[in-house]
Each structure stands twice: as structure tokens, then as C-alpha cells.
Amino acid sequence: MTDRVKPRLSRGLRDLLPEDMLARQWMVDTIRGVYENYGFSPISTPAIEYLDVLTGSAAGTEAQGSIFGVSNPEEEQLGLRFDLTVPLARVMAQHRQLPRPFRRYQVASVWRADKPDKGRFREFTQFDLDSVGTVSEIADTEIIAGMCDTLTALKVGGFRVRYSSRGILNALLTFAEISPDQATDVFRVLDKLDKVGFEKVKLELTSGYQDRSGDVIRGLGLGESQVDRIHRFLGVRAEARQDVVTQLEELFSGVEGAEEEVRAVERISGHLYSLGYGDDQVALDLSIARGLAYYTGPVFEAHLTEAPQFGSVFGGGRYDGLVMRFLGEKVPATGASIGVDRLLAALQHLGRVGGKRTTSEVLVLNMDPSLESEVLGLTFELRRAGISAELYLGKGRNVGKQLKYADRTGVPLALLLGSDEKARGVVTLKDLEAGREKSAEVEKREDWIQARPGQREVPREGLAGTIRELLAEIGS
């Protein structure tokens, strides 16, 4: 009869329970460690920005449809940020006292009102790394190296960072005689090469086609010689970055402005080679376009070789025009953003993270009312010795119930202090994992109870030290 509210979330939003959250915090801490090792400094900006700040940029124009609007009592035009790069551009324009180059990292939620998909949510976390105020290619090199080091530190298994540049794509436009107003559309189609193959790319560049669900995909109406030149461009592939450079020089010989663009990607490749980032980690791949209206120089993205279906987990590029929107002054910038949620989903899919569901290392059982203050004191004794400990606070006093709780929370150790132990000046420690293994072989309940797997009595004296040794031994 009561009008209960149905507990629910709007589409594309989700809760993160302890198991997810612990894995995620490990990821964030690991990423932060790499970024700080590179000497980048943290900033934070509000989730809410003025709508014109968000939509003013080239990125914002594309983004308008997917910005979440926000209302305030003053009825101002506000929205939730959809990335961390636009707010960074605002910060650079607003806080003129910041030293340049300004090298910052930021980890925060962003929101996009898109259709949700696998590993793709309406609220998600980005972890960005950017250098603002330098045209140096070393800055771009650092970002790429940082991507490699981050993915290595996260133990993602195989990965490949691929890069190209907007300048190379511009040279393609000249080479294939494509008009600048078609550039964005052409880049968007090229970006699909990996996914759909050249035949479909060709159709979409020319006449369009109907996909198998009956949806009409419009063509761009390019001519045969244009498509042929694009085909030759895309044919420039090689395992070694230097081979790609060589082939590209040949293809673009005589194309106006191409020489300098090829030199630029070659210099980045050279820096990377000398730092030990070989062709196995970083590839020069001309098919990546990233469909990004605001990138002006190198663009980069990373995939996991063991989970390519999760798409790009880390991407970025140089955007020399973005701050101009606020300052009227050209401020060069380059950076990358890691999709924490998508990468977490991929790592969970690969079984490389997870399992841990609590921060507690020891659950202290609360069995005998007359010993309650003693076990409470014991719990704090462990905490003060730096061991994460939890006292059972549920209402049932029986051991079975409390061990069941221990099992379900995933805590590695249980500590029993009842009247038996008290009388003898000991406590009982129980390694829960040992029981999990044992339970598979035991059939009769009596045997199970009597086996008391992983259990031992230890002296009450020096307990913290004993527990620390035991935790190290069982690897928790």
C-alpha cells in the first residue's frame, strides 16, 4: 500500500560495487604513478560548465547533441562537461599566471548523452595527460611514451599504440584532390578501415550502400582516381615505422607541403626508437584518423591486442587551436586520455583484475558477549599496528554465521577469540582460502567441521607481528 519508490538508474548509468571499485582504484593509482613519474601535476575543475564554454569549440559543435543540460536557480545555460580537454583550455585562458609549458593530469567523470554500449556509459571516467604551451615534438613523444608506460604498468598484456598526424592526412587531401570541406567526412570513413575493410570504405567514399539491416549508408561521391589514390595511401603499411616513412616519401613526392609532415612523424619515431619504444609497441599507422575535428598535429590511439573488440582505450593528439577560442591567441597543446571504464571492462573481460572485494585483511569474530570489549580492543590493536581489521557487527553470534560472512566478503583471515582461547592466552587464526580449496574434496559434514582447514592457534602476545607474517605467507 505504501507508495514505494522503485530503486533504479537512468540508462547508461551504473553503480560500482566494491569489487569493481577496488580494481578501478588500483588502476587510477597506477596511472597516477606513471603520470607523476613524468612530472605532470594534478588539477581539478567543476563538473558543470557554462554551455557556451562547452559548445564553443570545434569539438563542442559536434558534441552539442550529447551534452547533459544542467539547471541552476539563476537559470543560466549550463551543462555537464563531456571531456577534460575543453575545461583545460578554459583553465589556461582564465588562469594566466600558470607557467607554460603547463603539464597537468586530471582524473574525473565526464558525461555524454549517447546511446550506451558495451564498455560505454553515459557517465564515465577519463584520465588525461596534457602539455600546454609547447610546439616541441618531444611533448608529443612524451605523451606516446607515457601511453606505453601506463599500459605496461597496468599489466594489460599486449597493446599497440598507433599514431599518424593530421598533417599527413592533409597531404592526402592534396594528393587525392579532395576539397577541404569534405575532409571530416573522408577521415571519418577512413577511420573505419580496420572494422569494415577496404571494399566497404570504397563504397562509402563513392556511391554508398545498404547494410544488411537495411540501413542506407550515404556515399561521399568521390571519383575513381580519388579513391585510387586513397587506396594507394592506405596501402602504405609496414611493421617498421621507418619503412612506412620511406614508402610515404615515395608516394607523396612532389605533393606540396607533404615533405615537412613526413619529417615530423619521422622525428617522433626517431625519438621513440632512441628511448627504446620499438615497432612492437608503437606503430606508424596512416589509417587512424580519429574523426576529430580539433586535432591539428600528431594523433594517437591504443588498442589491446588481446581485446580489440573494446576499441580504443587510450587516445589523443595535438590540438593547437583549442585555447584560441578563449584567448584569441594560439596556444599549442598535446595530450591523451585514457578511458578508465572501458579499459576496466576490458581487463575484467580478460580476467586480469578483480577478485578482491574488501579492504579488510582480518575479520575478528564476536562470539561471547562477555568478551565483546576484549575483541573490540583487539580489533583496534591490529588497526593501530597497520593491519586492516573488521569486527563482526551482525546480530548472529554463532560461528557458522560469522564465518559465512567472512567467506562472502572475501576477507583472507578470520580471528576467533572465545572463552577457550581466552583461558589459554591464545587466539585462533583461520586462513579462509585454505578452506575454499579443502571444501572441494570433503563430502561429509562431520569431516568438514573437524578438518578445520587453514586453522591454527597462536599466542595472544605479539599477535600483530604473527598476522603480518601470515598475510605475507598467503599472499594477501
Partner RNA sequence: GCCGAGGUAGCUCAGUCUGGUUAGAGCGCCUGACUGUGGAUCAGGAGGUCGGCGGUUCGAGCCCGCCUCUCGGUACCA
One-letter amino acid of 146: G
What string of H, E and C letters represents the secondary structure of 140-176? HHHHHHHHHHHHHHCCCCCEEEEEEEHHHHHHHHHHC
Q: Does 73 bind RNA (CB under 7 A)?
A: no
**Interface region with RNA, contact rule CB under 7 A, candidates 22-30, 78-86, 157-165, 242-250:** 78-86
Which string of x and - marks every residue 218-257 that binds RNA (by CB under 7 A)?
A: ----------------------------------------
CA distances from residue 307 to 156, 159, 283 in whole angstroms, order as listed? 10, 9, 18
- Alpha helices, DSSP H only, in 56-155? 58-63, 85-94, 137-153
Q: Does 406 bind RNA (CB under 7 A)?
A: yes
Which of 77, 455, 466, 476 touches RNA (CB under 7 A)? 455
Identify residues 330-369 at the interface with RNA (CB under 7 A). 337, 367
List the one residue out of 388, 394, 385 whose CA is nearest residue 366: 394
One-letter amino acid of 375: V
One-letter amino acid of 441: E
Q: Does 308 bind RNA (CB under 7 A)?
A: no
Strand 426-431 versus strand 455-459 pairing type: antiparallel
Of 183 and 238, the one with the shorter C-beta distance to RNA is: 183
Q: Does 290 bind RNA (CB under 7 A)?
A: yes
Q: Does 259 bind RNA (CB under 7 A)?
A: no
CB 340 within 8 A of CB 107: yes
Of 279 and 341, the one with the shorter C-beta distance to RNA is: 341
Q: Does 453 bind RNA (CB under 7 A)?
A: yes
Q: Verify cis geometry, omega within 30 degrees of 0, for the bond prior to 18.
A: no
Which of 40, 60, 244, 387 touches RNA (CB under 7 A)? 60
Identify residues 196-215 at the interface with RNA (CB under 7 A). 196, 211-215
Q: Does 217 bind RNA (CB under 7 A)?
A: yes
Q: Give me the least distance between CB of 284 and RNA, in Å please.
A: 20
Identify residues 8-27 at the interface with RNA (CB under 7 A). 11-12
Alpha-carbon gap, residue 218 to 221, rounded angstroms: 9
Alpha-carbon gap, residue 5 to 148, rounded angstroms: 47
Which of 25, 44, 95, 118 touches RNA (CB under 7 A)? 118
Alpha-carbon gap, residue 70 to 46, rounded angstroms: 13
CA 89-94-95 angle, to 5 degrees, is 100
Count the Cβ atoms, other than its own, within 10 Å of residue 423.
8
How many chain residues interact with RNA (CB under 7 A)?
Answer: 73
Q: Give me the least distance between CB of 153 and RNA, in Å please.
A: 23
Identify residues 457-476 at the interface with RNA (CB under 7 A). none
Identify residues 367-386 at the interface with RNA (CB under 7 A). 367
Which of 232, 401, 460, 468 touches RNA (CB under 7 A)? 401
Place of cell 626517431: 270
Rounded CA Rg of the chain: 29
Q: Which residues contact 193 (CB under 8 A, 6 or more apart)?
A: 201, 234, 287
Q: Give me the least distance between CB of 277 and RNA, in Å please.
A: 23
Q: Give me the least distance between CB of 143 and RNA, in Å please.
A: 14
Q: Which strand (E) or helix (H) includes residue 351?
A: none
Q: Does 59 bind RNA (CB under 7 A)?
A: yes
Which of 42, 384, 399, 465 touches RNA (CB under 7 A)? 399
**Interface region with RNA, contact rule CB under 7 A, candidates 92-100, 237-245, 425-433, 468-476:** 425-433
Q: Give me the least distance between CB of 209 and RNA, in Å please.
A: 9
Which string of x and - marks every residue 426-445 that binds RNA (by CB under 7 A)?
A: --x-xxxxxxx-xx--xxxx
